[in-house]
Structure 1
Amino acid sequence: MATVTVEVNGRPYAVGCADGQEDRVRMLARQFDDHVRGVASEVGHVGDIRLFLMAALLLADELHETRLAGGVVTPAGDPPPAANDGVAEALNAVAARLEKLAQTI
């Protein structure tokens, strides 16, 4: 397993990912950072956890709308397709890091 350091809202975070997925995780982190910064510009500084939650909800909404537009709707309880294993692993790593951060606050 590889570790990648990404920056979100000006802070570095170490994220574990599958070997070979480092560039993808960096790209996903940049997209997430864009959303976090967009939320921060609209609501001000409300704490990283809340900013991350709001950005994650916006991304989930975009994903939902994309699936609806493409005719592909995956029920919430279904596992993601195998092609998304790298993304799912990266999101799990980010979720674990957020949980650790939430415990320290």
Structure 2
Amino acid sequence: MAQVTIEVNGRPYQVGCEDGQEAHLLELVRLFDRQVRAVSQDMGQLTETRLFLMAALLLADELWDSRSRMSGVQAELARLQSDRARIESRAVAALDGAAKKIEQLAAE
């Protein structure tokens, strides 16, 4: 397990992560640090615990919204795929009917 020193709101913290995940952890820390700093600017002086809690809640709210939007997009995708399958089936039937008519005309 790798040990990484991260910095949130100007304070260093030592955390562990799986080997090879250091860069990903640092990206997550940057995201969280930006949120913490934004909360600090908006709400003024809070204890570190309250500051981190508010930042975490705001990020959780963004995650909730993203998941909700993703569910809507997935439902729309499923509807469109169903529509596409129905249209393809109708197109195949139309082409099959046209081919039969052409064969009949050619036989005459």
TM interval, shorter chain, is: 0.5 to 0.7
What is the distance in 1 between the residues matched to 2:51 and 2:66?
A: 23
Could you tell me the TM-score, scaled by structure 1's length? 0.67
Q: Indicate whether 1:23 and 2:33 are aligned.
A: no
Shift of 1:22: 0.3
What is the distance in 2 between the residues matched to 1:4 and 1:71?
A: 35
Q: Per the alignment, in what secondary structure is the counterpart of residue 34 of structure 1?
A: helix
What percent of counterpart residues are identical? 57
2:40 corresponds in structure 1 to 40
Q: Size of the alignment, in residue pairs? A: 72
Structure with the higher helix share, 1 or 2: 2
Shift of 1:44: 0.8
Shift of 1:47: 1.2
Residue correspondence of structure 1 range 1-105 to structure 2 within 5 A: 1-71=1-71
Shift of 1:70: 0.4
Shift of 1:42: 0.6
Larger Rg: 2
What is the distance in 2 between the residues matched to 1:62 and 1:24?
A: 19
Q: Deviations along 1:2-26, whole A, 9 cap, x unmatched?
A: 1111100000011110000000001
User: 1:24 corresponds to which letter in structure 2?
Assistant: H
Cα RMSD of the aligned pairs, angstroms, is 1.0
Structure 1: any 5+ residue segments left out of the alignment?
Answer: 73-105
Indicate the structure whose relative CO is greater, using CA pairs within 8 Å and at least 6 residues apart: 1
